[in-house]
Amino acid sequence: MRPHEFEPGAASDAVIAIEGLTKTYKSGFQALKSVDLTIRRGEIFALLGPNGAGKTTLISVVCGIVNPTSGRVRVNGHDILTDYRAARAQIGLVPQELTTDAFETVWNTVSFSRGLFGKSSNPAHIERVLKDLSLWEKRDNRMMTLSGGMKRRVLIAKALSHEPQVLFLDEPTAGVDVELRQDMWRLVRALRDTGVTIILTTHYIEEAEEMADRVGVISKGEIILVEDKAELMRKLGRKQLTLQLQAALPAVPASLGAYDLQLAAEGTELTYTYDTKAERTGITSLLRDLSEAGIRFRDLRTRQSSLEEIFVGLLKEQA
Amino acid sequence: MNWLAVRSIYLFEMNRWRRTIVQSIVSPVISTSLYFVVFGAAIGSAISAIDGVAYGAYIVPGLLMLSLLTQSISNASFGIYFPRFSGTIYEILSAPVSPFEIVLGYVGAAATKSILLGLIILATAALFVPIRIDHPFVMVLFLVLTAATFSLFGFVIGLWADGFEKLQLVPLLIVTPLTFLGGSFYSIGMLPPFWRTVSLFNPVVYLVSGFRWSFFGRADVSVGLSLGMTFLFLALCLAAVTAMFRTGYRLKA
Ligand SMILES: Nc1ncnc2c1ncn2[C@@H]1O[C@H](COP(=O)(O)OP(=O)(O)O)[C@@H](O)[C@H]1O
Ligand SMILES: [Mg+2]
């Protein structure tokens, strides 16, 4: 068991506890519908959902940028409304939008953030953060002279300037180059190793798949699923068994019509899709029926479906 | 109190001011100096003294008030409007700071700038016209109170405005006319009785009158009333800011 995996339900492990949170915007639009969610200390949690699902709204409420309509949110036990100072002091937020003070230098804007969060100045820490984000050479540059990717780095540096215990990354890799993406994941893992809890939103499934310990799926303002990533893949995953045939088949034989089979690679590959959740996978009987039909194969492999496929399947169920 | 946050916001705002020193200091000083040149040195000698004070000197407190009001409002309103407009306000909202601390940082900085500017203009005025200050303590009191009050008023406008036009609207359409009609260039005692009564509804009259008293010991209305009106306006602005923050008005969705 890796150190960041915990027994579910152990209350002291909850770093963020969201109960019955709803948000109705002034327009009357209900962006969050009674959301319950617990984030565990030290985990990387990926909040996955299509555009407009309510990811940014959820984060904004927790961080104090949007007023909740009802419900309760606590950060390390501190209520975000009645005990907002203690709650917010622990949180670093990297917003979705690239909003920066154009005329400020990198060093000043990052130092400003630290002061704003009530931490006394610590140039050594700021220096470390800037170096970790490859911003050290740019420290005296004004924000407006930086590229989009560099600005994103600065926003991360600002969020880390006050040594938060919880870091929110709202679509951190949207429109970001490969290099930054890799740097970012390296940093996120390093932060997690120091005990920082990380919540990221994305609609790139690979990101959640690569990075997260747990995944939550939000759709139309509702959390429709929260699961350990590995568990999710195991439980919901559909697997594919691909057989490489010795001789090409013109079509799937009628005698095998009961199975979900597809022919590919000019008839030399037969793919069987099955559900790992099912009581029986049907593999045994398929192999028997294949041999009865006189179909022989040279090799076989299995492939687990990606989160993306799981995700699309889930959203279809919702619709 | 999160004093470090107040300090951070305050210094951030002062820094912004330093970057734009030409617009924020040089241009108001030059434009105000022009009044002194025209009214003090050029045509001022052709206008008779008011309340025994040479006209060129008589208008100094009023002109100081004019710059104090417009600069306080424009500085403070821009200071809070711009982060709202650019989106950088997210950081202020997500920080462990109370509304009071936010106001203290922004309004404190705006008031500081106005006070400094006022002192610079006063020093400039002294180059053109003979100035005397009979009640320096009261003068400073009015200077500080007016700067604070109208910075707060500007902050309210900066929260309320949903476009740059609205930001300009109030100073241009309300404050400047009220200042010109508020006895900056004349004593309201010189007006016909009807207009004198109308003038008493103009809050700027009380500011200018009290401020002028601190210089020359002459006032259109009693100093106590002037001070009282200033405090009243301060209280109104404070109430407006408090209500806005309580509801998250135009700050939080
Ligand atoms: N200030 C607002 N007023 C009204 N509706 C809003 C506001 N902000 C977001 N919404 C709506 O709420 C929904 C959720 O938005 P958001 O939380 O940004 O979704 P996501 O981050 O998952 O893309 C969207 O339909 C969006 O249009
Ligand atoms: Mg979003």
**Structural domains present in chain A:** 8-233 (3.40.50.300), 237-318 (3.30.70)
Residues from chain B that touch A64, judged by Cβ atoms under 8 A, are 93-94
Confidence band for A172, pLDDT divided at 50, 70 and 90: confident
Bridge partners, A245 (sequence order) = A297
If you count residue pairs, one on A and one on B, with CB atoms under 8 Å apart, how many are there? 72
Nearest chain A residue to B9 by CA: give it: A116
Residue A53: what pLDDT?
Answer: 92
Confidence band for B144, pLDDT divided at 50, 70 and 90: very high
pLDDT digit string (tens) for B171-224?
A: 788 888 888 888 888 888 788 888 888 888 888 899 999 999 999 988 888 899
Distances (CA, A) of A256 to A51, A247, A280, A295, B213: 41, 17, 17, 11, 104
pLDDT at A205 over 80: no
Nearest chain A residue to B11 by CA: give it: A112
Nearest chain B residue to A101 by CA: give it: B88
Rounded to an integer, the average pLDDT of B40-65 is: 80
pLDDT digit string (tens) for B151-177?
A: 999 999 999 998 888 888 887 888 888
pLDDT at A38 over 90: yes
Rounded to an integer, the average pLDDT of B17-23 is: 82
Q: Could A117 and B95 be called an inter-chain contact, meaning their C-beta atoms sit closer than 8 Å? A: yes
Residues from chain A that touch B106, judged by Cβ atoms under 8 A, are none
ipTM: 0.87
- By the 10 Å C-beta count (0-12 exposed, 13-18 middle, 19+ buried), B98 is classed as middle
What is the C-alpha end-to-end distance of chain A, expressed in Å? Answer: 37
Q: Is ligand 1 within 6 A of the CB of residue A53?
A: yes
Q: State the DSSP H helix or E strand holding residue A316, giving kind and residue range, or none if neither.
A: helix A307-318
Q: Is ligand 1 within 6 A of the CB of residue A56?
A: yes
Nearest chain B residue to A100 by CA: give it: B88
Confidence band for A306, pLDDT divided at 50, 70 and 90: low
**CA–CA separation, A256 vs B138, rounded Å?**
100
pLDDT at A7 over 70: no
Q: Is ligand 1 within 6 A of the CB of residue A31?
A: yes
Residue A305: what pLDDT?
Answer: 66
Q: Could B8 and A115 be called an inter-chain contact, meaning their C-beta atoms sit closer than 8 Å? A: yes
Residue A76 contacts B, CB cutoff 8 Å: no
Distances (CA, A) of A180 to A140, A156, A177, B147: 20, 11, 6, 47
Q: Is ligand 1 within 6 A of the CB of residue A237?
A: no
Rounded to an integer, the average pLDDT of A243-268 is: 86
Residue A31 contacts B, CB cutoff 8 Å: no
Rounded to an integer, the average pLDDT of B57-83 is: 90
Confidence band for B38, pLDDT divided at 50, 70 and 90: confident
Q: What is the mean pLDDT of chain B?
A: 88
Residue A4: what pLDDT?
Answer: 43
Q: For residues A106 and A130, is the Cβ–Cβ distance under 8 A?
A: yes
Residue B116: what pLDDT?
Answer: 93
- What is the CA(A24)–ligand 1 centre distance, in A? 10
Query: For strand A238-245 and strand A269-275, is the pairing parallel, antiparallel, or unpaired?
Result: antiparallel
Residue A67 contacts B, CB cutoff 8 Å: yes
pLDDT digit string (tens) for A216-237?
A: 989 899 998 898 988 777 666 6
Residues, CB-to-ion distance under 5 Å, ligand 2: A 55-56, 96
- Look up residue A298 and give its two tokens: 């040279």
Q: For residues A230 and A237, is the Cβ–Cβ distance under 8 A?
A: no
- Look up residue A164 and give its two tokens: 């938060």
| Cβ burial A226-242 (10 Å sphere, 16+ → b, else e) | bbbbeebbeebbbbebb
- What is the CA(A229)–ligand 2 centre distance, in A? 22
Higher pLDDT, A56 or A49: A56
| In B164-222, alpha helices (H) | 164-170, 176-180, 193-199, 203-216
- What is the CA(A54)–ligand 1 centre distance, in A? 6
Q: Could A88 and B8 be called an inter-chain contact, meaning their C-beta atoms sit closer than 8 Å? A: no
Q: Could A88 and B92 be called an inter-chain contact, meaning their C-beta atoms sit closer than 8 Å? A: no
